[in-house]
Amino acid sequence: MLGEGGTMNERLTARFCGSWWGGERGERAIPDERQVSTVIDLDRVLPAMERRAEQSELAEDRGRILSLAGDLCFDAGQRQRALHYFDRAIDTFLSAGSYGAGVAICQKVVRLTPAVIRARCTLAWMAIARGMLDEARERIRDYAEAATRLEDARLAWGHLRMMAEVCEDQSVQETLAEALTRLGDDRGAELVGEAARTGKLRCRKLPEQESERWGVVMERVLSPRRN
């Protein structure tokens, strides 16, 4: 069982009888098993969900629909298709500033597909953004471990170096230096390790103003070249 609980058929029955799909709850009869078997044809359901997401004015509604589409794909054994929808849901929530909802989907993705990398990176960033330093260190370690599977670890180097610019906590920077060492960025590890010892980071690349700095970070988190 995934998502909000119940079997895929139960979730679909609830969703497709609800207001998302026209009318108020209770107006439409609960479909019988033959109708449900038709509903779960992804090639028919997903385009309708896409249209509904595009028509929704609220980012929260769009994100929920895309997340549900990911659940349906995962239940149907289509993992890559599911990750595509989960990624879009995460981007939708984060772009709207609904960080809690984005974090919840990242956590679900990690739970369902432990080998993923992008969701772990986002969780590390969100922990830093919320000032949850103990969690940030744990998430950074998880991200570095997952990123060892990347063919080109320089994508991860960039994220970890940016984290060191945004978060000046000594213990977090020490964890970042360890992560960079593990991923083969000796120069980055040296710079971040020095910052942890001295309180000063050389070779900064992000804007000095905090709002602008976080704007660059979010662009990178949402970038197609994220990992």
Range 190-195 contact pairs with CB under 8 angstroms and sequence separation of 24 or more: 191/161, 191/164, 192/160, 192/161, 192/164, 195/164, 195/168
User: What is the average per-residue pLDDT within 67-94?
Assistant: 94
Query: Which range has the worst mean pLDDT, 65-74, 160-169, 218-227?
Result: 218-227
Predicted local distance difference test score (pLDDT) of residue 40? 64
Question: Using an 8 Å Cβ cutoff, are 97 and 117 in contact?
Answer: no
Q: Report the largest interatomic distance among the alpha carbons of the chain, rounded to a whole angstrom.
A: 68
Of 18 and 189, the one with more pLDDT: 189
Question: Using an 8 Å Cβ cutoff, are 92 and 63 in contact?
Answer: yes
Domains and CATH numbers, the chain: 8-20+33-113 (1.25.40), 117-222 (no CATH)
User: What is the average per-residue pLDDT within 24-43?
Assistant: 47
* Per-residue CA distances from 174 to 143, 200, 202, 203 (Å): 15, 13, 15, 17
Mean pLDDT score across all residues of the chain: 83
User: What is the average per-residue pLDDT within 86-115?
Assistant: 94
Question: Using an 8 Å Cβ cutoff, are 66 and 51 in contact?
Answer: no
Q: What percent of the chain has pLDDT over 70?
A: 80
Predicted local distance difference test score (pLDDT) of residue 15? 53
